[in-house]
Structure 1
């Protein structure tokens, strides 16, 4: 990782490991992309980078992508992704927010996470998401409470074979 993690964030999950993790509240600038989910990060990059640059906000890692509405295919018309650059500290306040992006304060969350190494492909996402769903079937003490997300830790210049990411699902303990 070439940039630092936001304040209070846990270290990335080890490759192939599945673990339950706690995240603190955090602030992010978010771009909403409708359509081809495989293009979401690429389309979102310039508006997000312009926001942090114009507000003199340091780049952090990871980049977050939440898949809030999905059809059966990643390039379907009914798909939506929210791609975010995370602020290093939730107290950072931008001096301006241009149309096309929004600043969002995210609440603390618990997730089940799997560490992934390799290219940021849709197939890798789907494979690892299924591993988390299988894990959840074996752990009925947890319920899903939010959409899945991916955390991307490396720049586009990093060789595909060594890129690190995580696939996560927001969870909570089932109330008895």
Structure 2
């Protein structure tokens, strides 16, 4: 029903509802409710009406629907880099009910993965795509028999797996080789 300037009809009274709907209001009387003996006040030992707030070490993301953060929240992964900027934008601009909010958060996760891979090159132990993706175990343990006749959900897109997993690494290697060749040509000239 669309909103109108007319005053809406008042809600029907209990008696009208009971007369119109068989069984309506059967649980209004506490004696008729089977859960009443279990509905009792138990002292919890809490010394507060609202719990103490956890200290914010940096401005946290919070949905625009909420007035404030929950009293306790996670602090294991502070937003950083471009992915942090995308996350903050998603929370500041869009409601949790909008697809744009969640799509931005998914994009931030992908950006964070790329940032982590790039960051690993600066360490003594960069990511190893061969061992970390399980490619070797896929080849060792019945690669064809495990794929065919098993009604696996991933059979339809298994041809994409090498492209998705190895593609970025091959592209990064090709860019690196190209950059080194151009650098070598400039030094020779």
Q: TM class by shorter-chain length?
A: under 0.3
Higher helix share: 2
TM-score normalised to structure 2 length: 0.22
Higher strand share: 1
TM-score normalised to structure 1 length: 0.23
